[in-house]
Every structure is written in structure tokens, then in C-alpha cells.
Amino acid sequence: MFSANLGMLFTDRDLPGAIRAARNHGFGAVECHWPYGVAAEAVCAALDETGMEMVSINTVPGERAGGDFGLAALPGRELEARAAIRQAVDYAARIGARHVHVMAGRSTDHEAAEAVFRENLRYGCDLAGPQGVGLLIEPINRRDVAGYHLAHIEQAAATVAAVGSDCLRIMFDCYHLQIMQGDLIRRFEAHREMVGHVQIAGVPDRHEPDGGEVHYANLVKALRRLGWDGPIGAEYRPRSGRTEDGLGWLAAFQGERA
């Protein structure tokens, strides 16, 4: 099953309309970035109508105009980070979302940032676990987001191990990991037990996953052989601007039982 990331797909519609469009065009689930401007009741109604699951949402990134791209690993901004986690966990619980991606942010002093990150994640796990919500952390490539605190899967694995909660998992975003590290199948295999969600996009242009340097039809089959049976999130920018114009990959991948 493939999940449409509505932060990039079907963006010409409001969120409930995008959920309906994703279902109508063959996706089995949805995920999004920051849904907080839409009433949870409206999202729930669209999910119920379509039978779709919301796989994940993100914590707010902070002040994007000021360079923020997440808050959880920023020393001195713990109150903001925890408020963002509370907001996301509450919204996720209200709409039945499976995960919250806790955005780390950019760091300069890695050791101090990592200490803050781990404490904020422990706080988040204590909050999310009782509500049936999981947390995700995602290595993000530093070409697109210079200075992002978390950029390698081994670092993410160390963070998950240090936090020590079953609530916390890794977002295995193939686009970011291919840019930073490559060797995707072996890296997935090595960290399979810590992976909570998988995302795909063409590399290096972040367009549809049937182009670029990664052969996703083969990669997705390999992930399935290695035991991944969860949704695979399509988080890419449509090449033509219209999501509908570039969905040939979806029918092809589903036809191959990827």
C-alpha cells in the first residue's frame, strides 16, 4: 500500500479534498506535514468517508522565515519544542494518526543539541505512548536543509536506542538517505527493527519515484522481502505541478505487487 503525502501531493485542494482525491486516485493511506489550520473534525470526516488512515503528521517547524526547520534539538527553545510536540500528539490522537514526526531542526553544537533532542523525545514518548501515538525522527539531507541536526541513519539509531522507548522509531526516507549515504537496502536491513515508516521520491530532483537514480520498483520489492508490510509514503513534488498527471508509477508499482 502506498500513502500520499499531502504536503506535496494534491496541494490544489484543501486537506479534506486532498484526502478524497488520494483515495480516488489509488492511494491506500495519507500523511501530511502541518494540518493544524484545519479542524480535526473535518479531517476525521474525510478519513471516515474514504476509509483512509492518516499515517503521520509533523510537529510545526518554528519560524521558517528565520531559518527554523524544527525545534526539538535547539538548546534554549525547549518550551517551544514541547509545545509543538503536545500540539502534534493531541491533533494526531484526535484524528487517529499513527505517528508524529518530531522535527529536530538545525544545530551547530551537536553534543548540546543531541542532549536536548533526547530529552524532548523522552518527554514526547511519555505523552504520546498512552494515547496510542508513535513518534518518528527522520534523517534529512544537508544539501536541502543545511545544518540539519539529524542526517545519518546511524545517528538516528543511536538516538532511538538512547531514548529507550518503544514509542520512538525512524522515518526511513529513501530520498534523503540516498543523497547522504546510499546503500539503501543494506541500511534498511541493518535498522529494520527501528523503522516506523518509509518514504520515497525520485533522486536527485524529488519528482515521481519512477525516475532518477534509484530503481524504486526493485527497492520496494526488496523492502517487502525484508519484512516491511506497512505503507510506503510518496513524498515528492509532481513534475508537471498536477499530481494526477504523474501517477503512472503508482499503477505500475501496484501491478508488480511491490
Q: What is the CATH number of the domain that holds 143?
A: 3.20.20.150
Bigger pLDDT: 251 or 71?
A: 71
Active-site annotation holds for 213: no
Task: Give the per-residue pLDDT at 6.
Answer: 98
**What pLDDT digit, counting tens, does each position of 74-98 carry?**
999 999 999 999 999 999 999 999 9
Which candidate in 31, 53, 138, 208 is catalytic? 138
Query: Residues for the chain: how many in total?
Result: 258
The mean pLDDT value of the chain amounts to 96
What lies within 8 Å, CB to CB, of 200 at 6+ separation is 174, 175, 209, 214, 216, 219, 220, 232, 233, 234, 235, 236
Mean of the pLDDT values across residues 207-211? 95
Residue corresponding to grid cell 518509509: 198
Task: Give the per-residue pLDDT at 104.
Answer: 98
Q: What percent of the chain has pLDDT over 90?
A: 96
Domain of 234 in residue numbering reads as 2-255
Q: Is 123 exposed, middle or buried (0-12, 13-18, 19+ CB in 10 A)?
A: middle
Mean of the pLDDT values across residues 99-125? 97
CA dihedral (149, 96, 48, 231) positive or negative: positive
Mean of the pLDDT values across residues 144-156? 98
Task: Give the per-residue pLDDT at 233.
Answer: 98
Active-site annotation holds for 114: no
Q: What percent of the chain has pLDDT over 70?
A: 98
| Model confidence at 151: pLDDT above 80 | yes
Task: Give the per-residue pLDDT at 256.
Answer: 55
Task: Give the per-residue pLDDT at 254.
Answer: 85
What is the total count of domains within the chain?
A: 1
Say what the pTM is. Answer: 0.95
Which candidate in 208, 235, 244, 256 is catalytic? 235
**Which runs of consecutive H residues, i.e. helices, occur in 1-152?**
15-24, 40-50, 78-95, 110-128
**What pLDDT digit, counting tens, does each position of 210-253 carry?**
999 999 999 999 999 999 999 999 999 999 889 999 999 999 88
How far apart CA 17 and CA 20 sit, in angstroms, is 5
Strand partners, 106: 148
